[in-house]
Amino acid sequence: MQQTLKNDRYLKALLNEPVDCTPVWMMRQAGRYLPEYRELRAQAGDFMSLCKNPELACEVTLQPLRRFDLDAAILFSDILTIPDALGLGLYFTPGEGPCFERPIKSFDDIKKLAVFDPEQELGYVMNAVRTIRKALAGSVPLIGFSGSPWTLATYMIEGGSSKAFTKIKKMLYSDPKALHLLLDTLADCVIVYLNAQIKAGAQSVMIFDTWGGVLSKKAYLEFSLPYMQKIVSELIKINENRKVPTTLFTKNGGQWLEHIAQTGCDAVGVDWTTDLDVAKSKVGTRVALQGNMDPSVLYAPKEIIEEEVQRLLAQYGEGSGHVFNLGHGIHLDVNPEHAKHFIDAVHIYSKPYHMK
């Protein structure tokens, strides 16, 4: 699927190569803050029906690119496709989010899990990647993604979303052997899943460690980071004669940036609780940085959004190695016009930082 990319500044920035301005995309840029998305979801019936239909997943992926001057598209899917493929029975309850019919409760449950064939159990994802790549026609790169083993395990053991994470932390401290077996199995699943996405056409991949920040440093370095490092080491590095960059993002993980940067990843995502200049001082040019505007800034008047964009650009300073993004996903009730203003402001105000 060799294509000439018309806009490759996102991939270049991830590899610390010179760009004309700072690239920008938004986590959850394809989704429910857009009225056209809500309309399509209503037609499809539910969220998973969108995910499992390659043509509809492609349409949702392209919707924000029609509105905004984004530098990357991200596959429309969900991090919980892996637990679903492992037979846990994923379903979504209105107002409560994802749930599992058969959550992990014991060592025996974990021993029954086996790495799947992503082209079989998750073939709809690969078909979506292929469909999106064809539709993009080389306009911008396509990002593939997965949840981290720790984050996937939290949902699989808790049975859905959680605030206290008591069930998985109980296993962590009372039966660490069982949890390590689960995390190792999930790491193997993520490896085959992301490599299949790359083969299908994803030009960069991102691992979302959404709940890594609920761990202590000791627990993070034992139960989350090593499994992401294992994944990074076994991912396809070059495809279509081009490097495939990997970004790791641990929400609330700014205190562990040096450790994350040592995994072999190409970029580290930063949320709004860590200043970009502090992050840059910790990792240097070893990795690129992605982030980190608080998504709630998009509720502000447009002039405040511009001021925040300028402040964060100044924090990072001159040169490449920065992908501008929100520090987490865009909120569902944000005005799309504010998102457009944010994206345009990044391109306009970042140009002076790339003059040399």
Please state, in angstroms and rounded to a whole number, the distance separating the CA atoms of residues 352 and 21: 8
Q: How far is CA 84 from CA 88, 233, 296, in A?
A: 5, 25, 31
State yes or no: is 133 an active-site residue: no
Per the annotation, does 210 bind a ligand?
A: yes
Question: Residue 239, CB half-sphere, CA atoms under 13 Å: how many?
Answer: 21
DSSP string, 150-191: HHHHHHHHHSB--SS-HHHHHHHHH-HHHHHHHHHHHHHHHH
Tokens 């970042």 label which residue?
350
State yes or no: is 175 an active-site residue: no
State yes or no: is 286 an active-site residue: no
Per the annotation, does 30 bind a ligand?
A: yes
Contacts of 256 (CB under 8 A, 6+ apart): 217, 220, 221, 225, 250
Q: Are the beta carbons of 22 and 313 closer than 8 angstroms?
A: yes
State yes or no: is 32 an active-site residue: yes
- Is the peptide bond prior to 7 cis by the omega test (within 30 degrees of 0)? no
Select which of 10, 155, 349, 353 is catalytic: 155
End-to-end CA distance of the chain: 34
Tokens 């984050």 label which residue?
151
Per the annotation, does 29 bind a ligand?
A: yes
Per the annotation, does 78 bind a ligand?
A: yes
Burial class of residue 340, CB neighbours in 10 A (0-12, 13-18, 19+): middle
Per the annotation, does 353 bind a ligand?
A: no
State yes or no: is 242 an active-site residue: no
Select which of 8, 71, 78, 84 is catalytic: 78
Annotated binding site for substrate, which residues? 28-32, 78, 155, 210, 328
Catalytic sites, residue numbers: 28, 32, 41, 78, 155
Annotated binding site, which residues? 28-32, 78, 155, 210, 328
